[in-house]
Amino acid sequence: MIEQKPLRGIRVLDLSRVLAGPFCAMNLADLGADVIKIEIPGRGDDSRGFAPRIPNSTDSGYYYSVNRGKRSVTLDLRKAEGAEILLELARHCDVMVENFSPGTMGRFQLGWDRLRAANPRLILCSISGFGQTGPMASAPAYDIVAQALGGTMSITGQPSGEPTRCGVSIGDLAAALYGVIAILAALRERDLTGAGRHLDIAMLDCQVAWLEDALARFSATGKVPGPIGSRHPSITPFQHFRAADGFFVAGCGNESIWQRFCDAIGMVDLQRDPRFVTNADRTANHALLDPILQRHFETNTRAYWLERLENANVPCAPIATVAEVSANPHLEQRQMILHADHPTFDQLIVPGSPLKTAGVPSAPDTRAPDLGEHTDDVLTTLLAYDPARLSDLRAKAII
């Protein structure tokens, strides 16, 4: 079967930097869009300077991981001529992604009204910390700020521990993925109306949207949710356990699984214990059940318990390290562990794309562009600039 690229023919201008915007635009590239990344001449995206450095090169592994499959054009938007060139490019594009602080595009003379006048079909996706409106719109924000203010950190970590940031940047990544959803919806709407949209995606909004049942629990019970470790607030057991030689997780989402769980670990008496008969009982009495299970699991190895639980069809898994994830044969077969197409280092591992069509190959382009690699090609192909014009722009440090 032929690989599906549903966004083939869609051209995206990626003005964003670091993570939220670039990750959004990279997913569009994975879906087949032609993504043109606009970077500052001589410097580029800030993340080009981030660790880790790729061995035998000056490239950043961070940059490579969220900018694959794009073309790089250098253009100084702070200069009037650079902004005019961007307007010219916008006339040839379908989508623009930016994650500047609100008001920055206006200072570049590239506000939504001017962009829409240049191309009424353009979809502008603005990703920011707190949105384009509201009393906090102009406040600076990073991922950790969104996680803190959005409540995520208050319900993450151990009950007796300090507030904990999630190990991946879910403040940025959630906004990036909601950005992708909004762009796809706007493209569909444009098919019907012919008009573009200005999309307003806030990192804080996305964190609140991911509070799942925490708001419901608070409003229904009046109790403020707090961190409970790996345990689920409504399902028991559903958590991590320590075996004699390492950690694993298991979850019993219904009574049938609980019965199989008890049989598999050799603790059938728990099935008849009135404190643990139903899930509601087990959740109410988790403080009694947890130490019973923990003492039991410490008597044997992780592999021993996982084999017994897997044979009983109980959802379970080892808590894998990043090294173990990178060596997982299932993920390799699913094309989720890929070696990046880097000119000097062939051992750089990057994630594949989870956006798949059943039975169709889905490995994305894994190469990230050199700074300004495609400037001449894009300006020549889309705007018909000749060598003299390119030379003049380069002399004025606009490209």
Q: What confidence tens digit (pLDDT) does each residue in 30-62 have?
A: 999 999 999 999 999 999 999 999 998 999 999
Name the nearest CA neighbour of 255 among 240, 236, 273, 269: 236
Q: How confident is the model at residue 2 (pLDDT cuts 50, 70, 90)?
A: low
Q: Say whether pTM exceeds 0.85.
A: yes
Q: How confident is the model at residue 103 (pLDDT cuts 50, 70, 90)?
A: very high
**Is residue 229 within 8 Å of residue 241, measured between CB atoms?**
no
What the block records as the tokens of 349 is: 């591992």
Q: Which residues of 75-90 are buried (b: 16+ CB within 10 A; e: fewer)?
A: bbbebeebbebbeebb
pLDDT above 90: residue 373: yes
Active site residue: 92, 198, 232, 374, which one? Answer: 232
pLDDT above 80: residue 348: yes
92 carries an active-site annotation: no
pLDDT of residue 58: 92
pLDDT of residue 16: 98
- The pLDDT tens digits for 232-271 are 999 999 999 999 999 999 999 999 999 999 999 999 999 9
Determine the Cα–Cα distance for residues 203 and 214; give it in Å rounded to an integer.
Answer: 18
Mean pLDDT of 165-189: 98
Determine the Cα–Cα distance for residues 325 and 323; give it in Å rounded to an integer.
Answer: 5
Q: What sign for the dihedral angle of Cα 115, 117, 123, 127? A: positive
SS3 content of the chain, % helix, strand, coil (to 5): 40, 15, 45
Q: How do the domains of the chain map onto residue ranges?
A: 11-210+333-395, 238-318
The CATH fold assigned to 238-318 is formyl-coa transferase, domain 3 (3.30.1540)
DSSP 8-state assignment for residue 47: G
Q: How confident is the model at residue 191 (pLDDT cuts 50, 70, 90)?
A: very high
pLDDT above 80: residue 6: yes
- The pLDDT tens digits for 328-339 are 999 999 999 999
Determine the Cα–Cα distance for residues 54 and 64; give it in Å rounded to an integer.
Answer: 9
The CATH fold assigned to 11-210+333-395 is Rossmann fold (3.40.50)
pLDDT of residue 160: 87
- The pLDDT tens digits for 192-239 are 999 999 999 999 999 999 998 999 999 999 999 999 999 999 999 999
Report the percentage of the chain scoring pLDDT > 90.
Answer: 95
pLDDT of residue 369: 97
pLDDT above 60: residue 1: no
Q: How confident is the model at residue 396 (pLDDT cuts 50, 70, 90)?
A: very high
